[in-house]
Amino acid sequence: MAKDLPLKIETHDFSFFYGAKQALHNITIGIPERRVTAFIGPSGCGKSTFLRSINRMNDLIDGTRVDGHMVVDGADVYSKDVDVVTLRRRIGMVFQKSIPFPKSIYENITYGLTLNERRSKSDLDSIVESCLRRAALWDEVKDRLHNSALGLSGGQQQRLCIARAVAINPDILLMDEPCSALDPISTGKVEELITELKDTYTIVLVTHNMQQAARVSDFTGFFLMGSLIEFDRTRTLFTSPSKKETEDYITGRFG
Amino acid sequence: MEWSIRLVASASIVVIFLILLFVMREAATLFVGKSATTTQATSTGAPTADLAPESYNPDAEAAPASTEPDVYNPEAQDPAAAGSQGEPGAPGQFIYASKNPKYPEIYNPDTGLLPTDIDEVVEETASADTLAEQSVLSKLGGDAWQPVGEIPKFGVKPLLIGTFKTTSIAILIGAPLGILAALYVAFFARRRVREIVKPAIELLAGFPSVVIGFFCLVTVASYIQDVTGAPYRLNAIVGGIGLALAVIPIVFSIAEDALSAVPKTLREASLALGSTEWQTAYRVMLPAAAPGVFAAVLLGIGRAFGETMIAIMATGNAPLSSFSPLEPARTVAATIGSEMGEVVWGSEHYGVLFFMGVMLFVFSFGLNAITELYVKKRLIKKFQGQ
């Protein structure tokens, strides 16, 4: 498995509760650095919950509780002295629905940068350009950087959101079904982007689309009913799964 | 079913226009009546020519077409009878006194009163008026508001200044507090707190303004005087605070609605970029809700300058042309509210009060129109990109 690679995110018996309902059951996993890790599984299996636990987005929901350990870079994310804001600056996130801020394209990119520090205009200009180039969006929007981001198409908006997440220069990029609302062409562009970004970032991807997981990821985990059934190299998992449930799912017997 | 709903809806719109039409018609007597007065007074000056007959001298011989003379001046038909009743403070006497305070002794019912006397007196005051001021408009532009003086002065400037003073103080206090409260309740408060605070502040919107006025009159006024050492107990600051109490719930409830309507996902996206709750609130959520918040402030302004009872009770109600917040003020609405009850119907004063009503109407209408057409667009562009 991934034992030979340095691990970025590790969990030990990690459980998650929405009130009395347990959404994750004793997840133990090691996510390798600078690789794309995909989580697949049927709806409601807990893969998104797990993803949102990594940067503590689930804190925003009332009445949630965690158990066990979630370790990023050797430090427990849920220990008391962790500053959530700093943590989230290290762990970028892209959501299922593209959510550009109702600001200009330029301001969308610079938003995360100017939160805590002042930067010079030329500094910002170059960051905006490089981020948009990385997101393969520069050529499409370079003439209207100061127009509202809401005027972009859905695919462009999603790539803008990726550029926005990349701009704050995180170590980890969490992607929660980033292509589920996009057409095949936009999906292709985003997938290209993911492949390109994995040299720099540890990418964790949640997807409904098994072909997508097979295409872009190096490692794949299969979730079912809040448990991690199997986690292995993508090729291994899709060609010779060790668990019956995994095989049933990827061969389309359910889900 | 559908037609009845349509009927009710269109009727309510028609009613609003009818109210405006009525107010404008009453205000129009100011212009029409005054021009008739001046021309007649200069051309004839004879006692037979009644000055604005239908309103000023309902008791005169030449006024058969007068508007309900017996309702307004029952004693005037028979002054001797009024005199024989002889009670000081009888209704007829009171009306005469307010009409021509220059010669109160002539109207003493004890001495008896002849129609010719009245004509003489009115003619005299009218000539004094024509010397003092020429047109209605120049009158309205004067610096003093003394509607029942020897020479009545109808300068609305002090009233406009007073309205401006109290409204701006109210908005400067009320809008930030209302918006901050809305931000807190929408994004920071726990659910339990929100469930208590939100209805509590919204309940304040239905609070009787006379109670707020009384509270300011008794409590806030003393406190402000202690703090500022203002020479007048009731002043524009006290009035402004009172109006702010009326403005806050309106700004709060509309701004809170606008902020809550911003998609929760936007908040998540901002927090995921490593911003704090507060940065998210004022850099993402507030701009996203800017049109709604702006509308809230605008309605707050409308409430502040239209509010009457608090303005009557807490501002000191003195028509001064001073911009100092520590001096008393008198608002347009308060003037209408306090003087309409004892004004002589159809008089110049009456017309001026209605004219100010039209002013209030036009101002609030214009404020909304400007916002809708111009400011809102610009603001949205500024906050949200083009």
pLDDT single digits (tens) B9-64: 999 999 988 988 888 888 887 776 554 444 443 443 444 444 444 444 445 444 44
> Using CA atoms, how far apart are residues B371 and B367, in angstroms rounded to an integer?
6
A90 Rama sector, left if φ>0, alpha if ψ -120 to 50, beta otherwise: alpha
Q: How far is B186 from chain A (nearest CA, A)?
A: 13
Q: How far is A249 from chain B (nearest CA, A)?
A: 30
User: Is residue A152 over pLDDT 50?
Assistant: yes
**Is A107's CB within 8 Å of B287's CB?**
no
User: Is residue A174 over pLDDT 50?
Assistant: yes
**One CATH from 3.40.50.300, 3.40.720.10, 1.20.1090.10, 3.40.1160.10 for A7-250:** 3.40.50.300
Q: How far is B288 from chain A (nearest CA, A)?
A: 6
The CB density around residue B48, as the number of other CB atoms within 10 Å, is: 10
User: Is residue B131 over pLDDT 50?
Assistant: no
Residue burial A152-176, b: 16+ Cβ < 10 Å; e: rest: beebbbbbbbbbbbbbbebbbbbbb
In this prediction, residue B333 has a pLDDT band, given cuts at 50, 70 and 90, of: very high
How far CA B50 is from CA of B47, B100, B196, B203, B345, in Å, comes to 7, 15, 65, 55, 17
Of A86, A102, A112, the CB nearest to B384: A102
Q: Name the residue among B177, B159, B95, B191 with its Cα closest to residue B332.
A: B159
Q: Please name the amino acid found at residue A60.
A: L
Which of 77-136 (A) contact B at CB < 8 A? 85-86, 88-90, 92-93, 95, 97, 99, 101-105, 107, 111-112, 115
Beta-strand pair B153-154/A7-18: unpaired
Question: Do B115 and B10 fall into the same domain?
Answer: yes
> Using CA atoms, how far apart are residues B372 and B375, in angstroms rounded to an integer?
7
Q: Which residues does chain A have within 8 Å of residue B287's beta carbon, measured at their own beta carbons? A: 102-103
Of B265, B267, B276, the CB nearest to A85: B276
**Is B386's CB within 8 Å of A150's CB?**
no
User: Is residue B84 over pLDDT 60?
Assistant: no
User: Is residue A31 over pLDDT 50?
Assistant: yes
In this prediction, residue A91 has a pLDDT band, given cuts at 50, 70 and 90, of: very high
Of A85, A101, A102, the CB nearest to B274: A85
The pLDDT value given to residue A4: 73
> Using CA atoms, how far apart are residues B31 and B35, in angstroms rounded to an integer?
6
CB B24 within 8 A of CB B32: no
Decide which of B82, B115, B132 is a domain's last residue: B132
Question: B280 in a domain, yes or no?
Answer: yes
| Residue B112 DSSP symbol | -
**Is B271's CB within 8 Å of A60's CB?**
yes
CB A237 within 8 A of CB A216: no
User: Is residue B302 over pLDDT 50?
Assistant: yes
What's the domain count of chain B?
2
Q: Name the residue among A246, A201, A253 with its Cα closest to residue A37.
A: A201
pLDDT above 90 as % of chain A: 31
What's the rounded mean pLDDT across residues A115-120? 83
What's the rounded mean pLDDT across residues A125-150? 88
Q: How far is B271 from chain A (nearest CA, A)?
A: 8
Mean confidence (pLDDT) of chain B: 77
Q: Name the residue among B224, B219, B174 with its Cα closest to residue B201.
A: B174
Domain range holding B78? Answer: 2-132
In this prediction, residue B110 has a pLDDT band, given cuts at 50, 70 and 90, of: low
CB B42 within 8 A of CB B130: yes
Question: Do B82 and B27 fall into the same domain?
Answer: yes
Decide which of B93, B115, B132 is a domain's last residue: B132
> Using CA atoms, how far apart are residues B83 and B129, in angstroms rounded to an integer?
29
Question: Do B176 and B287 fall into the same domain?
Answer: yes
**Is B385's CB within 8 Å of A146's CB?**
yes
User: Is residue B112 over pLDDT 90?
Assistant: no
User: Is residue B86 over pLDDT 60?
Assistant: no
Of residues B196 and B140, more confidence is placed in B196
Report the interhelical angle of B2-43 vs B348-370 (nearest 10°).
130
Question: B341 in a domain, yes or no?
Answer: yes
Residue with tokens 């959101």: A161
Of residues B49 and B192, more confidence is placed in B192
User: Is residue B120 over pLDDT 60?
Assistant: no
> Using CA atoms, how far apart are residues A94 and A163, in angstroms rounded to an integer?
10
Which of 35-74 (A) contact B at CB < 8 A? 55, 57, 60, 62
Question: Do B294 and B349 fall into the same domain?
Answer: yes
What's the rounded mean pLDDT across residues B255-269? 90
In this prediction, residue B76 has a pLDDT band, given cuts at 50, 70 and 90, of: low
How far CA B170 is from CA of A103, A130, B310, B359, B370, in Å, comes to 31, 48, 11, 20, 21
CB A40 within 8 A of CB A221: yes
User: Is residue A88 over pLDDT 70?
Assistant: yes
What's the rounded mean pLDDT across residues B125-147? 64
CATH code: domain of residue B190: 1.10.3720.10
> Using CA atoms, how far apart are residues A49 and B121, in angstroms rounded to an integer?
90
Residue with tokens 């109006």: B243
Lowest pLDDT segment from B74-83, B219-228, B234-243 = B74-83
Question: Do B206 and B346 fall into the same domain?
Answer: yes
Question: Do B275 and B308 fall into the same domain?
Answer: yes
Q: Which of B273, B377, B380 to mutate to test the interface with A (most CBs of A within 10 A)?
A: B273
Of residues B149 and A68, more confidence is placed in A68
Size of interface A-B (CB pairs under 8 A): 84
ipTM of the complex in this document: 0.88
> Using CA atoms, how far apart are residues B311 and B217, in angstroms rounded to an integer?
10
Of residues B67 and A75, more confidence is placed in A75
Question: Do B301 and B239 fall into the same domain?
Answer: yes
Decide which of B116, B132, B148 is a domain's last residue: B132
> Using CA atoms, how far apart are residues A213 and A218, in angstroms rounded to an integer?
9
pLDDT above 70 as % of chain B: 69
> Using CA atoms, how far apart are residues A230 and B5, in angstroms rounded to an integer?
63
User: Is residue B371 over pLDDT 90?
Assistant: no
Question: Do B127 and B162 fall into the same domain?
Answer: no
**Is B269's CB within 8 Å of A101's CB?**
yes
In this prediction, residue B351 has a pLDDT band, given cuts at 50, 70 and 90, of: confident
Q: CB distance from A207 to chain B under 8 Å?
A: no
Mean confidence (pLDDT) of chain A: 88
> Using CA atoms, how far apart are residues A10 and A68, in angstroms rounded to an integer?
11
What's the rounded mean pLDDT across residues A173-192? 87
Question: Do B217 and B336 fall into the same domain?
Answer: yes
Lowest pLDDT segment from B114-118, B141-145, B162-166, B311-315 = B114-118
**Is B283's CB within 8 Å of A62's CB?**
no
What's the rounded mean pLDDT across residues B301-315? 90
pLDDT above 90 as % of chain B: 31
Q: Which residues does chain A have within 8 Å of residue B190's beta carbon, measured at their own beta carbons? A: 62
In this prediction, residue B147 has a pLDDT band, given cuts at 50, 70 and 90, of: confident
Question: Do B245 and B331 fall into the same domain?
Answer: yes
* Nearest chain B residue to A54, by CA: B272
Of A62, A95, A102, the CB nearest to B191: A62
Residue B9 CB contacts under 8 Å (≥ 6 apart), including other chains = none
Q: Name the residue among A202, A197, A211, A205 with its Cα closest to residue A252.
A: A211
Helix (H, G, I), strand (E, B) or coil at A236: helix
- pTM for the full predicted model: 0.74
The pLDDT value given to residue A3: 58
